[in-house]
Amino acid sequence: MIDNRTAPFAALVLRVTLGILFFAHAGLKIFVFTPAGTAQFFGSLGLPPALAYLTILIEVVGAAALILGFYTRITAIVLIPVLLGAIFTVHGPAGFFFSNANGGWEYPAFWAVALLVQALLGDGAYALRSEPAKLARA
């Protein structure tokens, strides 16, 4: 059974944690690798370098939206392809464990699943823009 008293706070904790992680990863691309360096890396993978700038933008906007609880379900779903792209371009070929060179795919895969869980849970407590669940009633 789901405890309806605490479930909204569990969704809140997950939502804020996911947002912080996206801010951290966007920050890595902005402040450590630099946007130009990230674009160059994307190009070295055979991806359009401009996709790096779009990825950074999606990560920053998505992080803010998750933390604030603004269209949480939609935001979580929009962020999943970013992680799947990371798996299929960089982390997948590195193997399973994230401690491998280039990081394995276990961490971004878990992160993608956590986003799916967030999309299923919804906003949680203290959301700026709550969305009503539209699941069919039994």
In a domain, 127, yes or no: no
**Arithmetic mean of pLDDT over the chain:** 93
8 Å CB contact between 82 and 51: no
In a domain, 131, yes or no: no
Q: Is the dihedral of CA 117, 42, 55, 33 positive or negative?
A: positive
Residue 70: beta bridge partners? 129
Q: pTM score, two decimals?
A: 0.90
Range of the domain at 76: 8-121
Confidence grade of residue 131 (pLDDT, cut at 50, 70, 90): low
Task: Tokens for 49, please give them.
Answer: 């370098």
In a domain, 76, yes or no: yes
Mean per-residue pLDDT, 20-30: 98
> Under 8 Å CB-to-CB from 88, ≥6 apart: which residues?
none
Give, in degrees to the nearest 5, the angle at Cα 60 between 56 and 66.
140
Confidence grade of residue 44 (pLDDT, cut at 50, 70, 90): very high
CA dist list (Å): 136 to 15, 21, 125, 133: 24, 32, 22, 9
In a domain, 1, yes or no: no
Which tens digit of pLDDT belongs to each residue from 82-120? 999 999 999 999 999 988 888 899 999 999 999 999 999
Number of domains in the chain: 1
pLDDT at 138: 45
